[in-house]
Amino acid sequence: MSIVSTNSLTEPLYSADSVRAMDRYLIDRKGVDGFELMQSAASAAFRQLMSVWPGQPSLLVFCGAGNNGGDGYLIAASARRHGLKAVCVAVAPAEKLAGDALLAYNKACADGVTLLDLRQLSEDETEQLAAGADVLVDAMLGTGFAGSPREPFASAIRLLNRSGKPVLAVDVPSGLDATTGAAIGEVVRADITVTFIGAKLGLYTGAGAGVCGRVIFEPLVDTATAQASGEQALAELCRWQQYRSRLPRRAPDAHKGDFGHVLVVAGDHGFGGAGILAAEAASRAGAGLVSLATRPEYVTAALARCPSVMVRGVTHGSELPALLLKADVVVCGPGLGQSSWGHQMLQQVVESGKPRVLDADALNIMAGRAPAPSRHHVLTPHPGEAARLLGCTVQEVEANRLAAATSLQKQWRGIVLLKGAGTVIAAESSLPRIIPGGNPGMATGGMGDVLSGILGALLAQVTVPESAVTLAASLHLAAANAAVKTQGYMGLLPTDVITCLPEALRLAEADVNSENRENG
């Protein structure tokens, strides 16, 4: 069972401070014994460990001084009670332990766990211990950590990462900021992260999306008890498998006019493919009609690639208003360039007042101007574009992706979709949303153009803009994950993702129809 928000299609994500406040509430106000809660966490983590690595795995557990270390000692104690070999390496000296963590250490001693002090081990000896274990457990630095790990934790983290052995992280990988998802220094790269009480935002975005592996949430207490603490979520997690039921059902007598007309304005000299990708993606994502306004020399290529798209070659901004008049949603920016042609196109799009997706060079042009707030636009920056719009560095954006997205939304209004690991969607009328998923194969030119086309198509079909953007981002990642199953990471192309859109939508339609039958 997981703690969910009032919207059953999303899961609340909390700051580390909020989760620690929930923990204190359970102990101080609800009378839950702190050591029993620690035992519950350790039992849950051990159960998950055994489900992922069944049989008789031997464990090497790296323990810190706080409650995270206490969890580690109790995981080792559980392993011993089940007849498994378990060794604990105290990265923080045992004499620093106090409270529940000390009780956990004593229980591990009583249950026959082998306890070693890192200070008394050479680097070679520690590496040999790791080489002899089947699974390594990271229980060093918990949710109270921020900054860059100091010695001896930094060395221990490096050892785990170079061991080549599977790693389970307890609550949060050591070195990761559980609130922001930033990792300033060394950070454990886990295969599985088992987290407790409340799901932490930082595990799903930024570096967290890359180092946590599969995140398993163990609430330990019932939903009502945790929610009674009054702690407010920072964001919501939206998974495609749940949220795709928000796609509208198509009536048997539907026609193309019911699903919107998307106009893609894109493709200056040298960038013709960007507009073609966006237009084809819009078509594959269900838009009723799709038009493409691009440089004249790309008309033939666009028609050859996707003949269902209505393509118009334009050389001057004055040619655009007639096309804009017919559109319901406009996508502007892919391959737009920053020449006078791109400036003219963007000016006409903005002046039209039509709902619009602004991406790539449209954002770069905007970055040189004073903010022009609008509730009609969706901005889709990657971290570099976000940094230009905010007047900061990419490192500052990545240090707190949620803060960057919400700052952009406050400046420019509308909806902001910050691309990157753990997509962040910020809107005025709802909690920020985190979209998990994706893969490293998406790190190639043209993927953002595909997303822009999908966004245009969903905005044309879904009444609530926040839902449309959430669905579009989720669909994009779902199709990319499907494509990588056959293409792999290194060979993945944007066109592969477009090819996988129909099947992802077919599965979503099956969900919608099934839900309608159940409710009907």
Binding annotation for (6S)-NADPHX: 67-71, 142-148, 171, 274, 335, 382, 449
Query: Under a CB-based contact definition with an 8 Å cutoff, are residues 184 and 207 in contact?
Result: no
Is residue 154 packed enough to be buried (19+ CB in 10 Å), middle (13-18) or exposed (0-12)?
middle
Helix axes 465-487, 494-519, angle to 10 degrees: 120
465's tokens: 């803009």
CA distance 174 to 148: 10
Query: HSE of 459 in the Cβ direction (CA atoms, 13 Å)?
Result: 31
Query: Under a CB-based contact definition with an 8 Å cutoff, are residues 199 and 178 in contact?
Result: no
CA distance 245 to 248: 8
Query: Under a CB-based contact definition with an 8 Å cutoff, are residues 102 and 197 in contact?
Result: no
End-to-end CA, the chain? 27
Give CA 449 to chain center in angstroms: 19
Query: Under a CB-based contact definition with an 8 Å cutoff, are residues 275 and 298 in contact?
Result: yes
Residues that constitute the known binding site for AMP: 419-423, 448
Residues that constitute the known binding site for K(+): 68, 138, 174
CA distance 341 to 315: 7
| Location of structure tokens 């005025």 | 428
CA distance 139 to 136: 10
Residues that constitute the known binding site: 67-71, 138, 142-148, 171, 174, 274, 335, 382, 419-423, 448-449
CA distance 298 to 165: 51
SS3 195: strand
334 Cβ contact list (under 8 Å, min separation 6): 264, 266, 267, 271, 274, 275, 277, 278, 359, 360, 361, 448, 449, 452
Query: HSE of 337 in the Cβ direction (CA atoms, 13 Å)?
Result: 17
CA distance 154 to 176: 12
Backbone φ and ψ for 145, nearest 5 degrees, come out as -80, 145
In terms of DSSP H, where are the helices of 141-271? Answer: 153-162, 208-211, 223-227, 240-243
Closest C-alpha to 444, from 409, 489, 383: 489
Q: DSSP code of 368?
A: T
Q: How many Cβ atoms sit within 10 Å of the Cβ of residue 40? A: 17
Please report, for the chain, how many H helices and E strands are present, in that order.
20, 18
SS3 433: strand
